[in-house]
Structure 1
């Protein structure tokens, strides 16, 4: 992904706003978010199909019943997916409120004709930030629950892999390698999520970085996408995140290779091996969808927090610039309308899970 390179020209807040409010870019972002959430919804069908395979294994009485554990994972995944929908709705609501209730008030402070006191604006901002912080904590709680879910899924896969290793007459090495790659993928996903959760304030490039990554994973192919192909210069904290994502991409490629090798052997092997090669890509996809959604949520929260903090500092120190206010005054544009829109599109795709 060329736009994730660390050596490149930095971009200003105004440039970030122009990028993410471009109509063609917004179309690509919405398309990517729709595909991401739809994939999450469709994954439930694969979970249910695997449950039938677990029932077949249980009938052979080779080990303790597997179907109850798998059904528990299915239920938890569906509940987590519903929470993702609710979380996206909460974030979208806060962004819209920021655009209608906070940003216009802050912009009027810069107008010398305005009689609105700084104290009143500060009160509005502090109230908004306090409630927003509470909602952001819900996302962090969702992150913890997601980590527990993926650990449970990977533990189940390890248990299944042990059973396959005991019963399979061929392809054992490929199945063991596949199990190792699933473990490594899960650990890297947790690492990426932790790094994103640790970010407290970010530069303008972070929002562009997170959005472009979503499009690169789920949107149009680079030759068709309107997303700019320029590379993004990252700060020290974001450079760490970028390296973590690069490692995650490497782990996904390694998993894909191990999956292919295992599938080739399982095609000529036993039923148990074929089940493992069905479960492992399902777990890999679940990790991808959950991590990508969390990355988007956390990126938007930290962008909103950063802008609010900069507005607060600007109110008390007029010589300091609040880029979000300046961009709004100069162009009438803000990041948050398009970000709220892509979250609304994400919600629409997940409604299939909620209704189910």
Structure 2
């Protein structure tokens, strides 16, 4: 089987975009006759007429319509392959989907800001967020995701990520308590430990385990909270707290972003308070595989994630 002439891909993309032999010729700096000959070659290669006359104009065949988006993607990928790693990308025309693995709380807190920051510079880029069902570096190693966002201090994550994974701290977060607006706790300010454990609690855990550092701190005071419900995400914990008298334990970053949105929307309000016992701050980190270290587009993505998240750091400290 004869290998296809990959130079035809450039002509195909021009013809499908312009839907005109003459305009495609001008776009590529060719004569109309040369472009007509190229179209004939493309027809032989694809086994389809591609462009046919309809009255005084040309129209694409159904097969050509299907090829239009694919040809653009293929040409963009080919150009990327042949671009030096040190070259500055053209973000105005960049067509690329970036995949980030993060929990629901991060997506709710930073997703909209991150999408806006990226698409302002690269309007044809897109983001795809995947859930963190388990803590492993396999999606980074297998190129299933571009970036992983998480807390390295979580049990098992540091050992599961592996020594080759690049890590950068995004910001430091802390846990706070949140109850619905009008909750009995709201009238008395930040509760002490005894009042804190007087109400039921809803906590977020992917694995269904409810206890954490706050329970160890309460235990040192001879107190224990009543964990009534365990849900898989922080937004889910807030939904339960909004419709009950339960206290939700959530990251301060999530509540800060919700408060900012509530200033311009009719979103549900919460009473947020500092915990009555001391707990350590948590470092939220950005992780990627070293093969992406020198990629200029990936560096640009990492910088935007860092900029968006660092803006929250001063607020949370």
Query: TM-score range with shorter-chain normalisation?
Result: under 0.3
TM-score between both structures, scaled by the size of structure 1: 0.19
Give the number of the structure whose residues are more often strand, by fraction.
2
Give the number of the structure whose residues are more often helix, by fraction.
1
**Relative CO higher for 1 or 2, CA cutoff 8 Å, sep ≥ 6?**
1
TM-score between both structures, scaled by the size of structure 2: 0.21
